[in-house]
A and B are shown apart, each in its own frame.
Chain A
Amino acid sequence: MKRRHLWGLVPLIVYLGACTLGPVVSTLLLGFRDPKGHWGVGAFRTIASHYQFTDAVVNTLAITGLGLSLELCLGLVAAVILAGRLPAQGLVRACLLIPLGVPTIVSASAMRYVFGTVGCLNEVLNRLGLIALPIDWTGNRWLALVTVVVADAWKVTPLVMLILLAGLQAIPRQLYEAAQTDGAGPGQQFLRITLPLLRPALTMALIVRGVDAFRIFALPLALAGRHLPVLSTYAYVEYLEYGNQHTAAASSVILLLMILMTIGAYLRLAGPGEVLR
């Protein structure tokens, strides 16, 4: 009986090996070889000396940090509102989830119409008399970062909201009733009951979105082109434009390490039990 159960795991092991571990290991190996097949860290040395690589690392971290903060704040506010009693709650919830259903490349193209030099945002600001000349939203590096973060938040905040909403709905109502009886106000209830009990959902949202935010690709490429490199677009340019699969693999390895380190650090801080709850 036990052996039969083990055989049942074979498809899963084959799937994980072929579709998950295989590509990861082959990318790792590719990053540690040069075009002539010699082993070494030449590819890492090449990218480390490239003028855009440091920018790519900093931009990736900045987009992840700023993006996660914004998405968590907006998602939490939306989730708290939706967890209460609202008129036409189902409709409001459906409307808030629409961006989640839009393919990333479509939302990236749509954002170009918003943030382009002749885009809607400049048009609105111009009609309001706030600007005379169009703003180049991706002309300056830090402005471009904020633009990408805002555009990304529009698309993915609903996912954060959904996770947090599920967490909020799992909190027993009796706790709030007991707190109310003891004279706790809404602020105290939020700080003492909601936030602590929402920690598993927050952890899940952080990990799911954190991994995704590190891998951001279409939005910076569509909005700012190569002038706002992040690690994934850096790898893409190395692979497709310069035909160098080794440097592309090396930057992908660094991206993978950054994701693993961030998840590890967070779990260490929050406690490994968080995700298992």
Chain B
Amino acid sequence: MRWRATLLGILGLVLVATAPSAQPTVTVTMRLAEAEWQVVRQLILPPFEAVCQCRVRALDVPPETLLQRLRAMQRAGRMEIDLFAQDNMRLQELVEAGLAAPFAPAEAEMDAAIYPTLMAVGIIQNVRYFVPFRPNVQIAYYNADKFAQYGLQPPRTWPELLEVARIFYVKEGIGRVLFQGEGGAPTTTQLYEWIVAAGGEPFDFTHPGTLATFRFLAALRPYLAPDSRRAKWNTTSDALAQETAYLAQNWPVGVPLLVQEYGKTAIHTYSGWAGPAREAHVIGGDVLGIPVDAPHRALALALIRHLQSQESQRILVGRLGWPSLRSDSAAAVEAWLRPHVAAIGEALRHGVFRANVSYWAEYERLADEAVQRILWRHEDPDRVLPPLAARLAALRDHL
């Protein structure tokens, strides 16, 4: 008798747990840092849940695994994701795999305050598959105290950058300029904008501008901070905070972290330096998309409007220092953040979108190899690049 009662109890619990809830659950995926999730979960999503009478399940999904997850759900005939934020460099593969649903013209109409330049990135073969969410651009962080100590100005050109790096090395016996040389997306992004700044063609390793970039990197190498070897987006703020680096490029998300959390008020920002041809900064960040067969498409569209709204953007700008997609969010910024927002605005003025090519992953592998061998294995760029250029050309022609 007793076991029957236990069994009935368990059965009851299972039924309660699996019973359909009165409120629908919208599943959204993003890749955010811990501090960013805190703001999104505590300040951005609750107002939407209250208005729409739904629950939002927010999941952290890295951009490199989103495709696999969506594909697995589609194959299983059970799409569980309603809305995803994805790196604007990984969009082509989602469209090619038939995983991103197109927006109808009426659905894609955006608020007039959203920067029109940001609308270009979501259109593939004349169809809108994605809408703007979080534009991003890297700015240069520098330790103003250390620069003042050695009578230096933040570099505005490549020769100035080399000179600053050399002086730090001579004065302290160790490099203090950081290059994100760990590999992968951080390295490729930085490399891409340096190549454009040199007037080069990122997808052609034989282009004179591209060659000039790698030669400049080789010249800069002896003066780079040792942490450059392991530097990526999430370690750069640590290097600046611990003062193992005095100058580094990174996304603006590091500003509130360095200034507010670490109390590093001596760390200032500016747009960065120009190459021989121009100043160029890759516009990165995420766009929003709805998967094919998303279970709650209407709610997903409503959530998009909410994320793009002035209220949400003001919170994201004010709390996290995110560059806003709206022109009417800057007024909400606190005084201490204004110089940083100005630096972001200046960098965005020199913004470039990376070409969305289907062979990006393979390109990243080749660019990685070039940087690793030239920077960390001290190989000659003129020997490393020709065979990689041939492989890149073959890849381009093949696809």
Give me the interface of A with B, judged by CB distance under 8 Å: 50-52, 117-118, 132-134, 136, 138-139, 224-227, 237, 240-244
Chain A residues with Cβ below 8 Å from B229 are: 136, 138-139, 225, 227
Known contacts A139-B229, A225-B182, A225-B230, A241 near B64 by CB under 8 Å: yes
Q: Is the CB of B364 within 8 A of A138?
A: no
Chain A residues with Cβ below 8 Å from B173 are: 132-133
Q: Is the CB of B361 within 8 A of A243?
A: yes
Nearest opposing residue in chain A for B173, CB measure: A133
Known contacts A118-B244, A224-B230, A225-B229, A242 near B369 by CB under 8 Å: no
- Most chain A CB within 10 A, of B67, B183, B229, B369, is at B229
The distance in angstroms between the C-alpha atoms of A242 and B90, with both chains bound, is 12
Q: Is the CB of B364 within 8 A of A241?
A: yes
357-381 of chain B: CB within 8 A of chain A: 361-362, 364-365, 369, 372-373, 376
Q: Render B58-76 as a binary contact track against A, CB cut-off 8 A, 1 for contact.
A: 0000101101000000000
Chain B residues with Cβ below 8 Å from A139 are: 226, 229
160-205 of chain B: CB within 8 A of chain A: 173-174, 182-185
Q: Does B327 sit at the interface, judged by CB under 8 A?
A: no
The distance in angstroms between the C-alpha atoms of A244 and B226, with both chains bound, is 30
Q: Is the CB of A240 within 8 A of B226?
A: no
Q: Is the CB of A244 within 8 A of B361?
A: yes
What is the minimal beta-carbon distance from A157 to any residue of chain B, in angstroms? Answer: 26
221-246 of chain B: CB within 8 A of chain A: 226-227, 229-230, 232, 242, 244
What is the minimal beta-carbon distance from B187 to any residue of chain A, in angstroms? Answer: 10
The distance in angstroms between the C-alpha atoms of A136 and B229, with both chains bound, is 10
Q: Is the CB of A242 within 8 A of B226?
A: no
Q: What are 27 contact pairs spanning A and B, CB under 8 A? A: A50-B369, A51-B372, A51-B373, A117-B226, A118-B242, A132-B173, A133-B174, A134-B174, A134-B226, A136-B229, A138-B229, A139-B229, A225-B183, A225-B229, A225-B232, A226-B182, A227-B229, A227-B376, A237-B184, A240-B64, A241-B184, A241-B185, A241-B364, A242-B362, A242-B365, A243-B64, A243-B361
Q: Is the CB of B227 within 8 A of A117?
A: yes
What is the minimal beta-carbon distance from A218 to any residue of chain B, in angstroms? Answer: 15
Looking at chain B's contact residues, the main secondary structure is: helix
What is the minimal beta-carbon distance from B376 to any residue of chain A, in angstroms? Answer: 6
The residue that A242 contacts in the complex, of B227, B244, B361, with Cβ under 8 A, is B361
Nearest opposing residue in chain A for B62, CB measure: A240
Chain A residues with Cβ below 8 Å from B364 are: 241-242
Chain B residues with Cβ below 8 Å from A237 are: 183-184
Give me the interface of B with A, judged by CB distance under 8 Å: 62, 64-65, 67, 93, 173-174, 182-185, 226-227, 229-230, 232, 242, 244, 361-362, 364-365, 369, 372-373, 376
What is the minimal beta-carbon distance from A155 to any residue of chain B, in angstroms? Answer: 21
The distance in angstroms between the C-alpha atoms of A53 and B185, with both chains bound, is 20
Q: Is the CB of B174 within 8 A of A226?
A: no
7 closest A-B pairs by beta carbon, nearest first, are: A136-B226, A225-B230, A226-B183, A243-B361, A225-B182, A242-B361, A118-B242
Given contacts A139-B226, A227-B372, 14 further A-B contacts (CB under 8 A): A117-B226, A117-B227, A132-B173, A134-B226, A138-B229, A138-B230, A225-B230, A226-B184, A227-B229, A227-B230, A241-B64, A241-B361, A241-B365, A242-B361
Q: Is the CB of B362 within 8 A of A240?
A: no
What is the minimal beta-carbon distance from B219 to any residue of chain A, in angstroms? Answer: 19
The distance in angstroms between the C-alpha atoms of A110 and B174, with both chains bound, is 25
Known contacts A51-B373, A118-B242, A240 near B65 by CB under 8 Å: yes
What is the minimal beta-carbon distance from A21 to any residue of chain B, in angstroms? Answer: 22
Nearest opposing residue in chain A for B362, CB measure: A242
Chain A residues with Cβ below 8 Å from B184 are: 226, 237, 241
Nearest opposing residue in chain B for A132, CB measure: B173
What is the minimal beta-carbon distance from B217 to any residue of chain A, in angstroms? Answer: 16
The distance in angstroms between the C-alpha atoms of A240 and B62, with both chains bound, is 9
Chain B residues with Cβ below 8 Å from A224 are: 230
The distance in angstroms between the C-alpha atoms of A117 and B242, with both chains bound, is 10
Known contacts A227-B229, A240-B65, A243-B64, A117 near B244 by CB under 8 Å: yes
The distance in angstroms between the C-alpha atoms of A209 and B214, with both chains bound, is 43
Chain B residues with Cβ below 8 Å from A241 are: 64, 183-185, 361, 364-365
The residue that A51 contacts in the complex, of B64, B226, B369, with Cβ under 8 A, is B369
What is the minimal beta-carbon distance from A116 to any residue of chain B, in angstroms? Answer: 8
What is the minimal beta-carbon distance from A140 to any residue of chain B, in angstroms? Answer: 10
Chain A residues with Cβ below 8 Å from B174 are: 133-134
